[in-house]
Structure 1
Amino acid sequence: MSPSVKLRWIYILMVVFLALFSVQMGLFVAHQMEGRGLGTGILIYIVFDLIIGYTLIRAIWRITAQAYLSRKWHKLFSSNRHAKLTKHLNYKYRGLGTEIIVVRNEAFVALAIGMYRPKIVISTQVLHMFNDDEVKAILLHEWHHCRNHDSIKLFIMTLLTEAFGYWPIMKPIFRYYQTWTELLADRFAIRQMGTELHLGSVLLKLSKLGKTEPVTAVHFAASAMHYRMLQVLEPHQTVKVKISLLRPLLASLSLLLLLMLGGDT
């Protein structure tokens, strides 16, 4: 099974699981509004109410935080925009059909930002650190994120993971999804460049820098550096990303069963 197909099935598994849980929560709320079982299962109702309240609070907090951070970074990028370099790169890479914004910053910044109309943001430091081919590899990586709208997909995954974080299955799926999002973008860049040399050079340099990027969008050196280096070293072999699903899945199904049985009492 190809990584993209496996990723799709894992995503479907998560959606189905959360859909079942949401249906159970809806049935519980309906029963509570009708006043059924309030006399004998008051403790169960309190537990269910706490779970629902926690889920809603976490979801609202994540949405609010994302809106605030997005506005903050958009304002920062706009105020530090390098007009000349922005115009130059947009002309040079006009074939991508995606807006590129160059910002004045001494740190490494390369990311895809925006949920509905994604843009590529890179810093002047990127242009100073890397040669033209390496910059092109970085831009192709980010362009893949833009084409696939990975920013909004990652936001939805983050929202679900935080809102339903009490389910053991959520975090392993999120980490796996995040890792393969980066690997597929790297694979696209390598395929477009015709060689893994330039991307490998970028990753090697970044591995020495550490993580210095903002955390509000899909960014180049965000995660999975180990797997990404393996893919560059062995481009003709599929990287095996470890994911432990059996125990978290069984634990989550057991918890769901207990909630379903509790909701019927």
Structure 2
Amino acid sequence: MKANHHNVLLVGFWLFIIWLLLSIVILLSPFLINWVRHVSSFAAYCIIWLNQGIQYSSENGFGAVVLLLVAQGAILFMVILQRIRAAKLMGRLSFSVPPESVSQFAKEHSMENRLSYTQSKQIFSFTSGFFHPRIVISQGMVELLNEKQLHAVLLHERMHAIGHHPLLLALARSFAKVFWFFPIVGEIVRQYQILLELDADQFAIRHVGKEHLAAALLAVMEVDLKHVHVHEVAWNGFDDFMRPRVYQLIGQEARRDVKRKWMIRSTIQSGTSFLLFILLLVASCL
């Protein structure tokens, strides 16, 4: 639990560092223009529209500030858009009083004000909401699992709720979309999502044991899922990043292999993206 929590904080720290470095690069772009002015005329021709925009804003003395405000505004807009989608999703579901056993367990673990139960026969559970996240579980999920397995699912979702993971993920996903031209950012966000998921699994394992969570995962995997599509608006407890969760349950060696492959791929992507970014920056300044 502590190790996963440390990894979550570490990834969050590096996301902040990347944002800070990008901000510094944008702020220093007028000086970089003078340093690399006579390079890559062909690329400059290809992106002449970008050159004109940056040149105009630089001449008026507010280019760097505008770029920063635009980037931050885009992130805020995408976060708001995800919040609207989440609200629409919740609005399409009809909620009712959960079974007594579910209500009792929720009360014992301080979830009674966060839990929403829908009588849908579809099998799903997720956490949605930014400032007061709610745990949504379907009748189909309740009927599929036994008591201990259901407890593992609810505890998993409780960790997402108390950690405000939907809000963190909305910010991270928006950050990745704004800086789509840096694949390494998307990879880091994906790893951040995985770490949050594994952190929630560890929370459930600590309370009910590994075998009950594993059984719940297996039961859901064996069903032909026709779940609500919540990837972009909520934190889904099962269908996202299943393989890393299984790896955690069977041992650490497999997880290290996944991390090794990710490091190789992300290193290549980040190197390529950095060179492309420098090329575009140089070309746009000619």
Contact (CA 8 Å) 1:151, 1:217: kept in 2 or not? yes
CA gap 1:92/1:14 in 2 versus in 1, 3 angstroms: closer
Q: How far does the alpha carbon of each residue in 1:117-162 deviate from its partner, in whole angstroms, 9 at most, with x for none?
A: 1111101111111111111000000011112111111111110111
What aligned pairs does 1:71-220 form with structure 2 within 5 A after superposition? 71-77=87-93, 80-83=94-97, 85=98, 89-98=102-111, 99-193=114-208, 195-209=209-223, 210=225, 212-215=227-230, 216-220=233-237
- Per-residue deviation at 1:64? 4.8
Deviation at 1:198, TM superposition (A): 1.1
Quote the offset at 1:184 in angstroms. Answer: 1.4
Change beyond 3 A, Cα 1:260–1:14: farther
How far apart are the structure 2 equivalents of 1:198 and 1:45?
A: 59
**Residue 107 to residue 214, structure 1, CA distance change in 2 (3 Å):** same
Question: Cα offset for 1:71?
Answer: 1.8
Shift of 1:172: 1.3
Higher relative contact order (CA 8 A, sep 6+): 2
Q: Secondary structure at the match of 1:102?
A: strand
Match 1:247 to one of 263, 268, 271:
268
The equivalent of 1:34 in structure 2 is: none
**d(CA) in 1 for partners of 2:170, 2:75:** 11
Distance (Å, rounded) in 2 between the aligned partners of 1:87 and 1:116: 27
Deviation of the 1:222 alpha carbon? 2.9
Matched, 1:11 2:12: yes
Conserved? CA contact 2:75–2:171, under 8 Å: no
Could you state the TM-score of these two structures normalised by the residue count of structure 1? 0.79
Task: Report percent identity of matched pairs.
Answer: 21
What do the CA deviations read for 1:78-114 (whole angstroms, capped 9, x no partner)? xx1112x267633432132232110111111211111
Per-residue deviation at 1:259? 5.3
Partner residue of 2:26? Answer: 25
Instruction: Specify the alignment match of 2:244 in structure 1.
Output: 227
Measured in 1, the distance between the counterparts of 2:226 and 2:28 equals 45
The answer for unaligned runs of 5 or more in structure 2 is 58-66
Distance 1:88 1:204, change over 3 A: closer
- Give the superposed CA RMSD: 3.5
The alpha carbon displacement at 1:55 in A equals 5.5
Q: Give the deviation of 1:26 after TM superposition.
A: 4.7
Q: Secondary structure at the match of 1:101?
A: strand
Contact 1:81/1:104 (CA < 8 Å) preserved in 2?
A: yes
Equivalenced residues, count = 252
1:194-231 residue CA offsets vs partner (Å, 9 max, x unmatched): x2111111111111234623312111113221221222
Secondary structure, counterpart of 2:238 in structure 1: coil
Contact preservation (8 Å) 1:213, 1:222: no
SS at match of 1:107: coil
C-alpha distance in structure 1 between counterparts of 2:226 and 2:197, whole Å:
15
SS in 1 for 2:135: strand
Structure 1 residues without counterparts, runs of 5 or longer:
32-36
Q: Distance in 2 between matches of 1:71 and 1:120?
A: 14
| Distance in 2 between residues matched to 1:10 and 1:263, nearest whole Å | 32
8 Å Cα contact 1:133-1:198 kept in structure 2: yes
1:49-68 equivalences under 5 Å are 59=75, 62-68=78-84
Q: Which runs of 4+ in 1 moved over 6 A?
A: none
